[in-house]
Structure formats: structure tokens, C-alpha cells
Amino acid sequence: MFLLFLNLDLLRIHHLSSVDPMCRQRGDPENPLLSKDGDFILGGMFSFHSSWEDRMDNYTHKPMPLQCTSLNFRDFQFAQAMRFAIEEIDNSTDLLPGISLGYKIYDTCGSVARSVGVTLALANGNEIVSVPLKAPCTRPAHVQAIIGETSSSPTIAVATVIGPFVLPVISHFATCACLSDKTKYPSFLRTIPSDYYQSRALGHLVKHFGWTWVGAIRTNNDYGNNGMATFTETAQQLGICLEYSVSFFRTDPYVKIQKIIEIIKASTSKVIVAFLSHADLDVLLHEFSYHNLSGYQWVGTESWIFDSQTAKMDIHHILDGAIGLSIPKAHVTGLREFILDFWETLFSCKFKELKSSAEILRECTGREDMTGVQNSYTDMSLMPIFNNVYKGVYAVAHALHNILSCNKTCNKNVQLDPFTVLQHIRKIHITTKEGDEVYFNENGDPAAKYEIINWQPRGNGIVEFVTAGLYDTSLTPEKQLNLQNESLIWARNTKQVPVSVCSEKCPPGTRKVLQKGRPVCCYDCIRCAEGQISNVTDSVTCERCLPEFWSNERRDACVKKEAVFLSYEEIMGALLTAASLFGACMTIGVILIFFKYRKTPIVRANNSELSFLLLFSLILCFLCSLTFIGQPSDWSCMLRHVAFGITFVLCISCLLGKTIVVLMAFRATRPGSNVQKWFGQTQQRLCVTAFTLIQVIICIIWLTTSPPFPSKNLIEFKDKIILECALGSAVGFWAVLGYIGLLAILCFIFAFLARKLPDNFNEAKFITFSMLIFCAVWITFIPAYVSSPGKFSVAVEIFAILACSFGLLICIFIPKCYIILLKPEKNTKRNMMGKKAPNSL
């Protein structure tokens, strides 16, 4: 903190004496590494060194200046790009004619504190300035704009310090999304897209390949922490989980690296998203190689994904197949030659060559051709970043051109101030000689467009950076990511896309159930319950089928439920049909017998007309059971219950008439009785008709108010539809049954009363037995009908109809047929009256 206050104290001014007043900076002056005078000066800040020697200050004496270490030639190249742009502008007759631009370029060593000091030096200058007594110690800014810094953390410090003075700061490589906040950094602009877009693009790239379980390593500074925070937020929105997220800075102790290696080895994810600066990755890469952490799929940022020096360091192929985002390729005509010429001039006697951070000194003749040398300072792979520096310088130059109202000449008398320069830079929209557009949005950012780079190793050990696609934020969301998958090479030099998931995808027919205490990407696949399906992969829920559908065996589709009803084709239906037809045929047979022997006493007894009507009604009873078999329809549902109710009432009415005839017949034998007069055949017919008509009226009321109708029973069976006849009105149904039961009870009572009347063939006995069977069947029918599921309830009803019909047929008519056919000697009037034949002599 003392060092920071010391640098900030540079602005404080004091008088040395009242005689010789002057403004003087406090602290040691910062001297530029490269400089050139001009009418207007641009400042430059680059990290020519990437680190510095650690020291322990006790603040009992003035701290010594930083001792910078680790030469960083890529930032030296950035400085050369700035020099090249200024030289090109100075030689131009179209841009700032008659005006020369100068520069002061400083080495910040990657130190935030040093960056702040350099910022103040650029704003104030280092000269001792004499001023009149009591005059304010202020003057215009020393430079018109600052180009730099390279990294986000130093740039944030620079933009914070210089923001109140609205001196434009244009960075070529500081990508932290936080720098887009104009309330904190009002004078900051950049020629590289914000990490907000890169982080989101990385999330969509990871999602595109189906990697939902990834690890993450980030640089422990503003660049890495802010970029990873945006990536993490995007990943959560896209359903991607981070198994681990660790931070690292190149000055961290070795134990921190060891812990990172242990985390990676213990992980199950096969994809690592590296939001690292190239310097931090270089440190980690050495240790990763030592521990053979190969086989992982790396996803990188623009900081290292197209850095050839990082690729050269990867001698153990840790990063083979890496994929990531880079700034689109660019070309600046003449820049490569400018850089090489500079090196030839600078090292004409002694040539210091750096290879893989190892310094090798060798003698040279001074006449070497630098175009054939391949090393870190002749490598042009960072041309897109050089172009960003180039565009930043041109943005300032065009702003000055507009402020000075340049045409063929410029107005040098215009008083420049930082705010005016900043406003004009924000408004520019130009095209460079290479066709690149330069403009800034309201946040000071350029349009975001990235190339997708894939590391593809070649046979000679060289890694080729292959452009495999494009990510363009100016397009619609579905078109932003454009990839050519067939050209990609993955980890271990394979063409098969790696798989990195916590849990395998849940196939259709299953749903995801989260594992307790683990991220949402870790889940179990549970089969859908019966009646539910999922027809997509990784379904969170199972959808219930519509009521008329049921899930198939795989639970991935709803199929229409099987419609079930009592049909003629199945065994049960066929047997019941056969029994019904047999009963009808048997009844017809009895009718034929009775018709043939209609003159005999046994047929004529008890009103043969009622006997034939009873037999006819029994045929209808047998045949009405057929209406219960087959698929229910509107007419069959109404017919089955009406036919059943009317035919049985007709049948029982005939029995009731017969019973009454028996009772009346014996009553008529009493002296003075005129019962037979009141219950002759006409009255019997009226009785049967009246009883039957009542049932007909009940059925008509039922059919007109709420008739039976076909319905689908979806509740009885889960996977079947029971086609059945709904009663419509339960009152109507039970009224029909109740009326049948009432007649049956009356018939039973009358028959029971007449059972002991004298007659060898008392029909009342057989009617009593038949009514017992009838009542027993229907009493047992009710619980069986209610408890039987589906088509079995129909079968129970048919069985009850047939049982009653056979009971009546067998109990009443079979004994008579037996006598008619097998015992004709008993078919006499004497025998029917119960009189014994005279004894023969």
C-alpha cells in the first residue's frame, strides 16, 4: 500500500523556494523505454518483462525500484506495432498532414503498481517546470491518449486512476467484462471484444459438443475471475456443471500447483476449460508434462489458444486437440518487415536469441538475414493482436484529424483537452487499409467476433492452428455458432468427440432423478411408471398418457388401449352363445312335442295356450342373451335390457297365470263356486297382457328419460378399455329388475300355496321349484354382477338369464315331455285327476 501511495503522490506539487518557484514531481521519475518527439504524443504501456524479483520492504527506508525479470517479447512486438502505426501515419499525406505524432512507451513489468506510476508519468511528464509565483501548478495532459495495458488487472488500475482526468486509454488485449462499466471507467476503450461475449461463446461451444461435466482453471486476477464468473453463469443456464473450478497465478507456490494436479487426477470430467493467461499456462504446462496429465480435452481462450510459444513448450502433447476462441486472423501490410528491420538494427553487433525462455548468447557478424530466423520475437502468429494495437493508434489519429479540422493542412492552434479527444474517439467509424472497421459501442467495446481454433499436431512436431468455425454475436442466436466438426482433431489425436458427462444420457422411457448432494448434471435414470412415457432424451419428467392410451413396454410412446368386450370369437362368448342357441332349440323342440300332442290331457291341462306362450317367451329369454354378446352399440345397449326385462316379465306372467289357474281350478270344484267364471281364458290373457304392459311402460319411461348407452370403462383395467353399456338411469334398471322380482315372488307364493292340492300332475309343484331356482339365481346374481370386472359382469348377467331360462324349461316342461314320450299310459284324464284305475278281475 505504501508503494501505491508513493506513486499516487507524484501529483503533489511543492515550491523549492520563494525565489525559484517550480513544480516538481515527488518520487523517482519514470523513464520511457522507447520514445520519439512529435507535435502530439501518444503513450504506450507494455509488459516487456513478465515478472519481477520478490523483495521484502520494511519501509524504514525508501523502497528500491522493481527489478524486472523474464523478457516478454510478445509485448515488445505490440510496442513495435504501435511504432509502425505512428510511423505510417507520420508518412501519410492524407491523415494528419503536416502533423507529427510522437510516442513514449514504458515497460510495466506486469506490475499493477508500476502501471499506475507509468500512468501518472504519461499524464504529467517528468520535466521540472518553472512557474511564476503563486501560479497554479497545472497544465494540459502530457499525452493525448494511452495505448495499453495488455492484461486486465493492470488496465483496471490504470483506467481507475486516469478515469477522473478523462484521458483516453485504449487497450488491445484487456478483455475483462468489468471494463465495460462506464461509471467506473469512463475513459476506457478497447479494440478487442469483451470477455462477456467470449465467456458466453465458450459456454455455447462446450454445450455444442455435449460436454455437461467439465473442470475449470482460471488465472487468479480480474481477467480470469471475471471471465470464469460469466462462463459459470452461462454454463448453469445451458445445463453444464463444473466439477471443480480452481484459480492460479504464476507467482503461486509449488504446493498450489500440486493441489491443482491432484484435483485434476481425482476428477471424472475429461474436459478442462482454461481461462488462463499464456504466462500462467506456461508455468502449469511444465508441471502437467512432468505428471503426464495427457488425454484431457482443453478448451481455451484467446489469451493462449493461438500462441505459438505455448505450442512449442508443449513437447509432451498435453494440449493436443485443444479447441478455443481467438480473434479473427488479420494482416497488416509491412508490419512484419518493420519488426524484422528493427531487430536487425537493434542487434547489429550482438544478437541475443531467446528460445523457450532460455537465454543463449552468441556472436554475430551483424549481416544476418532476420527473415529466416524462427524464434519468439520473429513469430507473427499474434498478428491479430498487433492489428488491435494498430487500430487503436489509428482511432486516436482520426480523432485528432477531426479535432484539428485537417484537410490539406491542420489547425495547430486548436487547444486540445482529454475530454474532447475522448468524445471524438468514441464517435469514429473508420476502415483501415486492410478493410477492418474500427468503431466503439456505448461501452467502448468493438463488435464481438471469434474464430474457433483447433490444435492439430503434424508429423514434424509442429502444431497447426486450424480454423474450424466462427462465432459471430452480430447474427441471430441460432446462427452465431458455425462449426465444421469433420475437420476437428481431439485429445490423443483422435477424431472421435470426447465424452465428458457426470451421468450418461437418460434414454426415452426414463426420467432423470438428481443424486442427493451432487450437481444437477449427476443423476440416475428411473424408468417411467406404467401409463407414463418420455419420448425425448434426458427427460426431467414422464408425461401421463391420455385416458384412452397406455404406455408401451419401452415407455417411450403411448399406444391405444385394447378395447375389451365379450365377443363371439372368444371361448367364453362362444360357449354362452352355444348355450343360448341350445336352450332356444330345446324350447322349440318342446313346442313341437306339445303341438303334436296338443290333444292329450297333459298338454291341455292348465291352459295349453299359456303353455305355448310360456314356451315362446322362453325362446325369447334364451335369444335375448345374445344381445349381450358383441361390441356394445346404441341399439344393442337399449335392446339388451329392454328385451331382457320384457321377455322375463312375459315368462313370469305366464307362470303366474298358470299358478292362479291351478288355484282357481280347485276352488271351482267347491259347490256354489263361480271362481272359474271370473278367471277364464279371457281374464288370463288380460292378466298376462297387463303384467307385461306395466314392464313395457317402465322400459319406455327408462328409454325416453335416460336410456342405456355404450361407454368406455377406463378405470377397471389400467391398460385396457372395457366397452360396456352404461345403465343411463340406475333407477330405470333397478325398476325393471325389481318388477321382475316382484312378479317372481308373487308367483312363488301362489305356487307354494297350491303345491299340495290333489292332482297327480299338480303343475304348482314344478312352478314352485322353478321359482326357487329363479329367485336363487337372481339373488346370487346381484353381488356377482357388482363385483365382476369388465366383460365378466356381462357374462354373469347372461349366465343368470340362461340359468333361469333352463330352470323354468326343465322344471315345468321336461316332466311333461317325459310322460308324453316315455310314459304315454299316464297321459290320461283319469291319471291326471289322480283317480286309480279299477282292479281287473
* Other beta carbons less than 10 A from residue 599's beta carbon: 8
- Tell me whether residue 277 is in a domain: yes
- Tell me whether residue 213 is in a domain: yes
User: Of the candidates 100, 83, 328, 14, which has an alpha carbon nearest to the alpha carbon of residue 201?
Assistant: 328
Cell triple for 810:
326343465
User: Of the candidates 184, 54, 186, 168, which has an alpha carbon nearest to the alpha carbon of residue 119?
Assistant: 168
| Cβ-contact 521, 239 below 8 angstroms | yes
Residues 6+ apart with CB under 8 A from 391: 191, 432, 436, 438
3-class DSSP state for residue 68?
strand
- Whole-model pTM over 0.75: no
CATH number for 263: 3.40.50.2300
Asked if residue 211 and residue 171 are part of one domain, the reply reads no
Quickly list DSSP for 708-721.
Answer: -EEEEE-SS-SSEE
Asked if residue 483 and residue 409 are part of one domain, the reply reads no
**d(C-alpha 764, C-alpha 747), whole Å:** 10
**What pLDDT does residue 676 have?**
54
> From start to end of 174-292, where are the E strands?
188-190, 213-219, 241-248, 271-275
| Cβ-contact 90, 101 below 8 angstroms | yes
Asked if residue 496 and residue 625 are part of one domain, the reply reads no
User: Of the candidates 299, 332, 312, 385, which has an alpha carbon nearest to the alpha carbon of residue 88?
Assistant: 332
The DSSP bridge partners found for residue 457 are 463
**d(C-alpha 445, C-alpha 181), whole Å:** 11
Asked if residue 764 and residue 669 are part of one domain, the reply reads yes
**What pLDDT does residue 1 have?**
36
Asked if residue 540 and residue 587 are part of one domain, the reply reads no
**d(C-alpha 611, C-alpha 630), whole Å:** 32
**What pLDDT does residue 598 have?**
82
Asked if residue 111 and residue 232 are part of one domain, the reply reads no
DSSP annotation of 439: E
| Cβ-contact 210, 140 below 8 angstroms | no
**What pLDDT does residue 5 have?**
37
Cell triple for 694:
306395466
Structural domains in the chain (count):
4
- Tell me whether residue 678 is in a domain: yes
Q: What contacts 24+ positions apart, CB below 8 Å, involve 266-270?
A: 267/215, 267/243, 268/213, 268/243, 268/502, 269/213, 269/214, 269/215, 269/243, 269/244, 269/500, 269/502, 270/295, 270/296, 270/297, 270/491, 270/498, 270/499, 270/500
Residues 6+ apart with CB under 8 A from 106: 30, 32, 33, 43, 44, 45, 46, 118, 121, 122
**What pLDDT does residue 375 have?**
57
- Tell me whether residue 58 is in a domain: no
Asked if residue 705 and residue 825 are part of one domain, the reply reads yes
Quickly list DSSP for 597-629.
Answer: TTTSHHHHTTTHHHHHHHHHHHHHHHHHGGGGS
- Tell me whether residue 14 is in a domain: no
The dihedral over CA atoms of 362, 367, 371, 373, expressed in degrees to the nearest 10, equals -10
Residue the block writes with cell 444420457? 505
Identify the domain boundary among 541, 560, 579.
560
**What pLDDT does residue 19 have?**
42
Task: Burial-class residue 437 by CB neighbours within 10 Å (0-12, 13-18, 19+).
Answer: exposed
Asked if residue 304 and residue 204 are part of one domain, the reply reads yes
Q: What contacts 24+ positions apart, CB below 8 Å, involve 481-488?
A: 481/201, 481/204, 481/205, 481/208, 483/208, 483/452, 487/454, 488/321, 488/323, 488/454
pLDDT in tens, 142-188: 899 999 899 899 999 999 999 999 999 999 999 999 999 999 999 99
CATH number for 756: 1.20.1070.10
**Low pLDDT (below 50) residues in the chain:** 1-20, 349-368, 370-372, 760-761, 836-841
Asked if residue 817 and residue 679 are part of one domain, the reply reads yes
Q: Which domain holds residue 303?
A: 196-326+448-501
**d(C-alpha 839, C-alpha 828), whole Å:** 17
Asked if residue 210 and residue 158 are part of one domain, the reply reads no
- Tell me whether residue 286 is in a domain: yes
**d(C-alpha 765, C-alpha 759), whole Å:** 10
Helix axes 335-346, 383-403, angle to 10 degrees: 100
* Other beta carbons less than 10 A from residue 224's beta carbon: 27
- Tell me whether residue 70 is in a domain: yes
Identify the domain boundary among 560, 581, 602.
560
**What pLDDT does residue 839 have?**
45
Asked if residue 811 and residue 699 are part of one domain, the reply reads yes
Asked if residue 551 and residue 649 are part of one domain, the reply reads no
**d(C-alpha 795, C-alpha 799), whole Å:** 6
Length of the chain: 841
- Tell me whether residue 159 is in a domain: yes
